Each structure stands twice: as structure tokens, then as C-alpha cells.
């Protein structure tokens, strides 16, 4: 007759309680836990802001804050510029086109525009109709504007003996109406 | 003031006391779920870190170790789901007391194997059998049969009813008996 005790599944599973790590394991465990805790602490701000961003209301606040920081100064900056200078967007469409130039991106120096505007307007007041003469020039694709290499544009000009007489000064060229820069002589 | 309350009040050092109090039990449950000592160490450490980070969400509705177990088990189950197809065993040492137990003697006489060789073989067989169970069945067996938790404690940790715990346990043991039929009477 078999004298050995009956083997139950439960007893067999309890044998797993004897699987234990050696004592040195816990030093490694504590060291690793300390290191990971510090890493988690170092990464906390990022996780914190990311979790904040997960809230929809926080995204709305973020967008509003971004507009307040960037949008409002930009808006008032543009209006202050136009309010404090003679430079205005182009509105005069009365001139006959001379030629169409290829499109290139102009670099507009607004400080120079202001300087030239003041100077040329004083010349205009002194000499009547003609503001300056250009030997070479370019016009925008619409053919209605002429521009010098500092971004100064004229909407009124006429050609005579290979010279162009420019009047009806002076407009700042909007960036989107691209024209080639030209050399300009007074 | 309870230790947990001290941690909640900002006493970081008090958390070390909790770590030292629960690290072996926490590691054990994670080890028995994964059968991999390296993964178990990482997952138990992660559980402590997560517990520390969310210590203020512990309201004392359950015991601290139930709450801690829940974090550790959820973390481990997520890990096992992510690495569903990866099964690397990495076992802990077996204490000498195991080879002196009556059950071990009985198994040795039943399978007629030399005790030294049987020790390693038995460890592998038990871990393999557990790993064949689904995660929810394995969790219940580990917590009840190996960790010695009650049905109520398990239902609180796994957030399911006591009836579900009982039925999962019953099914899991049926499965294990099939896997270990040459060892069990």
C-alpha cells in the first residue's frame, strides 16, 4: 500500500513560496528604486504639463494666452506703424502699365522707405510734378507700380526718351505684390 | 500619525519605511505573475514610484497594501499584455526548506526522481503551468494560493465580485490540474 501523503494542487502551489531572491538582491532593488525615483522626479514637470494639456479647458486657456502674448502686440504694432508713418497700402490704380516683370521676393526696408518718403515728398513740394527719374526700373506684375531697390514704389510714372519720370509718390509696396528692385536716380 | 499620512504630508523619508515593509510581498506577487525576476524587480519598483506619485489619491477606503497591490498588479498586467508573446523565464533561488517539505518528498517518491534534480524540474513545471493560464486566472491563483489573500481582498484588488474571484479560481485550478496531472493525486 502507498504510504506517501496525497499531493494536492494547493500544496504544490505553496511550494512556490520557497522561491525567494537572495539577500543581496534587495540592495540592488533599493539602489534601482532610488535611481528611478530621481529620474521620475526629474521628468515630473514635463509629465505635469502634459497632463495639464490633456484637459480641454487648459488647451483653450493656452490658445488664449498665446494670442495675448503674440497676437495682441503684433496687431497693435502694425497699427501703430501705419498710424505713425506716411506709408499706406496701395490704392491708386489709375496709371497705364509699362511692362510686366518677373516675380521675385522683395526685401523691404521700412526705415529706408520712411527716410525716402520724407525726402522725396519734400522734393515734390519744391519742384512740382516730377519726383525723380529712373534709368532702370521694374514694375510689379500688374504693371501699375514701380519700385526702387529700397522698396520705394511709385504708382504714377511716364517714359520719355528712354527715361522714366516718376511722380505721384510714394507708396510702400506690400510684400505680397512682388516686384524686382531697380536702381533709381533723382 | 500613520506612515501613509506622513508621506501625504510631505515626509519623503517615511515612504522608505513603506518600501521596506512591503517590498518583499510586492515583489513576490509580481514575480509569480511574470516568472521573471528582472521584470519583477522593474515592475515592483515602478509600482512603488507610481504609488508615491499618487499617494495623495489614497483616501484610506481600503488598506494601504490593497491599494499598493492594485497598482502593482495593474502595472504588471499591462506589461504582460504589451509583451504577450514574450516568455522568458528567470527564476529566483529555491530555499532549502522546500526540499525538506512533506509535499516535496511525496512528489519525489511519486515521480521517482532524485531530489536534487527534482527541485529545478518542479520549479520549471509550476512556473510553466502558471504561465499557461490567462492573466485574470493567473492573478487569482497567485493571490489566493501563493500570496494567501482572502477572496474579499482579491475582489478589492482586482475590482471584481467575490463570486467572480471564486469562479476564476475554480476554473484556474481545473486547468492547473490538467497541466500538472502527473504530479497531482
The answer to whether the CB atoms of A29 and B23 lie below 8 A apart is: yes
What is the rounded distance in angstroms from the CA atom of residue B15 to the CA atom of residue B3?
A: 8
Retrieve residue A77's grid coordinates.
504694432
Query: How close B81 gets to chain A, by Cα (Å)?
Result: 23
In a domain, B127, yes or no: no
The answer to whether the CB atoms of A40 and B102 lie below 8 A apart is: no
Q: What is the count of structural domains for chain B? A: 2
**Chain A residues within 8 A (CB-CB) of chain B?**
4-22, 25-26, 28-30, 32-33, 36-37, 40, 44
* Whether residue B84 sits in one domain with residue B5: yes
pLDDT of residue B101: 81
In a domain, B128, yes or no: no
* Whether residue B156 sits in one domain with residue B73: no
Helices (DSSP H) in chain A: which residue ranges?
A: 9-14, 24-42, 44-53, 56-66, 72-84, 110-127
Q: Which one has a higher pLDDT value, A22 or A83?
A: A22
CB contacts, 8 Å: B48 with chain A:
33
CATH number of domain containing B1: 1.10.1740.10
In a domain, B123, yes or no: no
> Residue B74's domain spans which residues?
1-92
pTM of the model: 0.60
The answer to whether the CB atoms of B107 and A6 lie below 8 A apart is: no
Q: Domain boundary residue among B74, B92, B110?
A: B92
pLDDT of residue A90: 52
Residues of chain B under the 50 pLDDT cut: none
* Whether residue B72 sits in one domain with residue B144: no
* Whether residue B88 sits in one domain with residue B1: yes
CB contacts, 8 Å: A22 with chain B:
93
In a domain, B150, yes or no: yes
What is the rounded distance in angstroms from the CA atom of residue B121 to the CA atom of residue B39?
A: 22
In a domain, B121, yes or no: no
CB atoms within 10 A of CB A121: 14
* Nearest residue to A15 (alpha-carbon basis) of B166, B55, B63, B145: B145
ipTM field:
0.88
The answer to whether the CB atoms of B146 and A16 lie below 8 A apart is: yes
In a domain, B106, yes or no: no
State whether residue B177 sits within 8 Å of chain A by CB: yes
Q: Which one has a higher pLDDT value, B171 or A47?
A: B171
Query: How close B45 gets to chain A, by Cα (Å)?
Result: 5
Q: Which one has a higher pLDDT value, A13 or A65?
A: A13
pLDDT tens track for B86-140: 777 788 887 777 777 888 888 888 877 777 788 888 888 999 999 999 999 999 9
Domain boundaries, chain A: 25-83, 91-186
* Whether residue B85 sits in one domain with residue B6: yes
State whether residue B106 sits within 8 Å of chain A by CB: yes
Going by pLDDT thresholds of 50, 70 and 90, the confidence category of residue A54 is: very low
Q: Has residue A60 got a pLDDT over 90?
A: no
What is the rounded distance in angstroms from the CA atom of residue A129 to the CA atom of residue A150?
A: 22
Amino acid at each position: 500500500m502507498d504510504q506517501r501523503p496525497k499531493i494536492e494542487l494547493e500544496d504544490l502551489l505553496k511550494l512556490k513560496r520557497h522561491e525567494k531572491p537572495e539577500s543581496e538582491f534587495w540592495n540592488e532593488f533599493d539602489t534601482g528604486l532610488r535611481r528611478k525615483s530621481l529620474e521620475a522626479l526629474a521628468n515630473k514637470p514635463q509629465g505635469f504639463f502634459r497632463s495639464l494639456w490633456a484637459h480641454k479647458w487648459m488647451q483653450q486657456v493656452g490658445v488664449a494666452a498665446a494670442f495675448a502674448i503674440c497676437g495682441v502686440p503684433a496687431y497693435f504694432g502694425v497699427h501703430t506703424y501705419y498710424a505713425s508713418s506716411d506709408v499706406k497700402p496701395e490704392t491708386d490704380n489709375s496709371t497705364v502699365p509699362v511692362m510686366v516683370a518677373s516675380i521675385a521676393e522683395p526685401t523691404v526696408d521700412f526705415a529706408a522707405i520712411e527716410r525716402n518718403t520724407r525726402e522725396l515728398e519734400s522734393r515734390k513740394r519744391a519742384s512740382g510734378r516730377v519726383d525723380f527719374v529712373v534709368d532702370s526700373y521694374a514694375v510689379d506684375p500688374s504693371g501699375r507700380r514701380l519700385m526702387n531697390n529700397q522698396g520705394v514704389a511709385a504708382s504714377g510714372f511716364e517714359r520719355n526718351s528712354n527715361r522714366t519720370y516718376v511722380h505721384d509718390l510714394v507708396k510702400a509696396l506690400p510684400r505680397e505684390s512682388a516686384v524686382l528692385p531697380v536702381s533709381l536716380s533723382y | 500619525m500613520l506612515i501613509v499620512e506622513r508621506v501625504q504630508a510631505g515626509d519623503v523619508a517615511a515612504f522608505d519605511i513603506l518600501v521596506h515593509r512591503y517590498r518583499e510581498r510586492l515583489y513576490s506577487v509580481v514575480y509569480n505573475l511574470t516568472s521573471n525576476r528582472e521584470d519583477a524587480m522593474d515592475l515592483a519598483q515602478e509600482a512603488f514610484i507610481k504609488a508615491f506619485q499618487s499617494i495623495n489619491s489614497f483616501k484610506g477606503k481600503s488598506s494601504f497594501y490593497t491599494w499598493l497591490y492594485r497598482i502593482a498588479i495593474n502595472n504588471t498586467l499591462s506589461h504582460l499584455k504589451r509583451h504577450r508573446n514574450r516568455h522568458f523565464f528567470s527564476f529566483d533561488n529555491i530555499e532549502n526548506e522546500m526540499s525538506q517539505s512533506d509535499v516535496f518528498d511525496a512528489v519525489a517518491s511519486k515521480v521517482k526522481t532524485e531530489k536534487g534534480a527534482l527541485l529545478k524540474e518542479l520549479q520549471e513545471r509550476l512556473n510553466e503551468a502558471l504561465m499557461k493560464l490567462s492573466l485574470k486566472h493567473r492573478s487569482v491563483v497567485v493571490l489566493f494560493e501563493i500570496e494567501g489573500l482572502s477572496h474579499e481582498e482579491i475582489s478589492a484588488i482586482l475590482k471584481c465580485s467575490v463570486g467572480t474571484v471564486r469562479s476564476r479560481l475554480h476554473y484556474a485550478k481545473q486547468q492547473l490540474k490538467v497541466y500538472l496531472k502527473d504530479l497531482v493525486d
